[in-house]
Amino acid sequence: MKLRTSLIALTAGSAVAFGGVVVPQAFADDPAQCANPEITVESGTLKWGIKQSWRAYVTGPIAKGDWTVTGATDNGKSKGANDFQFHFEVNPSGTVVNFNPDGTVKSATIKTIPSTVKFKGHHGALESTMKSPFIEAYVEGGKTVVRPGVTYEGYYVEGKGMTDYTPDDRVPENLKSGTDSFAKGESSGWVLQGDTLKLDATALKYEKKPGTRYDEATKKQYIEGVDIIFMGTYSDTYKPEVDDVNVELKVKKTCPQAPAPQPTDPAPQPTDPAPKPTTTAPKPTTTAPKPTTTAPKPTTTAPKPTTTAPKPSGTTSTPAPQPPAKTDWKKILFGILGAVGVLAVIGGIVAALQQFNLIPGFKLPKF
């Protein structure tokens, strides 16, 4: 978990403001050398006795009960004593602490690892469970307000008192569960000493849900939400005191390198392809004049028929047959010569065949 802090107002003392804490000597090196200073929560403990009056009642002579714990420890004090505390291990991944620009703590959410405290009494009639406590702390009106809460589970039948429940009542339709805070108090603020960040909250008061009440006329108990943990016993007027809360966080001061350039590098990529269509745009403009260049070609060929047109108008009708007459005599002459040549060849072939007596009984005619 990382705590967001500021480079300004980080002093070397333990200067504590009522609304928060000025983080003393947040970094051993020069803060100006760190662009993104951070404090990382590595571990921690939430110490809280929940409610002394409830612990004393459960283990006392009336309820004659006890509780079982998983995922948490305690300080070894007497279970009904004022100084008894459960120790819940802080979950760093779920814990968040936010700082103001002046270095004071603005708000915090302290989560704990999975844990369970199950209360039992009145020979099994009383049974309720609280899990994984948490702390919400924030600045309001210049003061640090602290609200502790839990995840709760319990069986509730409308109107029944805690001593009237039986095993038959513990069925799924009667199970009530959720996560909520049930108290509120103030703190003098956070204090950072070395690698330990602390918060102490005292004078916490119980906050009853609006639907939780006991009807004197009918002698029936009505319970809403998180009040199921205490079976609707307490209110803001009847034993409202809630135990003090102490938070200790082991932190590490770090100065990670800011990965700012990475997200900005891909930004210009969408702008690169934009000029490409602009570059290809002039290509059709270059091809446009080509049809204009070819256009005069038919214009150049157009005068040719105009030049040949006057020839028939300037000549008479008598010289027109002269070219075909000359051409006919030549054809006739060449035709005669060709025919004579063919006959001479045929005659030569036949004479040769007759000489070698290849065609007996055949004689060439004499002219």
Show which of 224, 257, 290 is a domain's final residue: 257
How many whole angstroms separate alpha carbon 170 and alpha carbon 156? 8
**Same-domain status, 225 and 365:** no
Neighbouring CB atoms inside 10 A of 291's CB total 8
Residue 211 pLDDT: 95
Prediction pTM value: 0.63
Show which of 238, 257, 276 is a domain's final residue: 257
pLDDT in tens, 109-121: 999 999 999 999 9
Q: Is residue 120 part of a domain?
A: yes
pLDDT higher than threshold 50 for residue 30: no
pLDDT in tens, 87-141: 999 999 999 988 887 777 889 999 999 999 999 999 999 999 999 999 999 999 8
55: enclosing H helix or E strand = helix 52-59
pLDDT higher than threshold 50 for residue 21: no
pLDDT higher than threshold 60 for residue 28: no
Q: Which residue has the higher pLDDT, 256 or 244?
A: 244
DSSP 112-157: B-S-EEEEEEGGGTEEEEEEEEEEEEEEETTEEEEEEEEEEEEE--
Residue 348 pLDDT: 72
Q: Is residue 185 part of a domain?
A: yes
**Same-domain status, 31 and 148:** yes
**Same-domain status, 354 and 231:** no
Number of separate domains in the chain? 2
Residue 346 pLDDT: 75
Q: Is residue 275 part of a domain?
A: no
pLDDT in tens, 261-277: 666 555 556 555 545 55
Domain of residue 339, residue span: 327-367
How many whole angstroms separate alpha carbon 292 and alpha carbon 302? 17
**What token pair was written down for 191?**
């204090």
Strands 175-181 vs 220-222: parallel, antiparallel or unpaired:
unpaired
Residue 4 pLDDT: 47
pLDDT higher than threshold 70 for residue 259: no
Show which of 240, 257, 274 is a domain's final residue: 257
What's the whole-number average pLDDT of the chain? Answer: 77
Residue 144 pLDDT: 94
**Same-domain status, 49 and 167:** yes
Neighbouring CB atoms inside 10 A of 40's CB total 14
Mean pLDDT of all residues in 39-60: 95
Q: Is residue 59 part of a domain?
A: yes
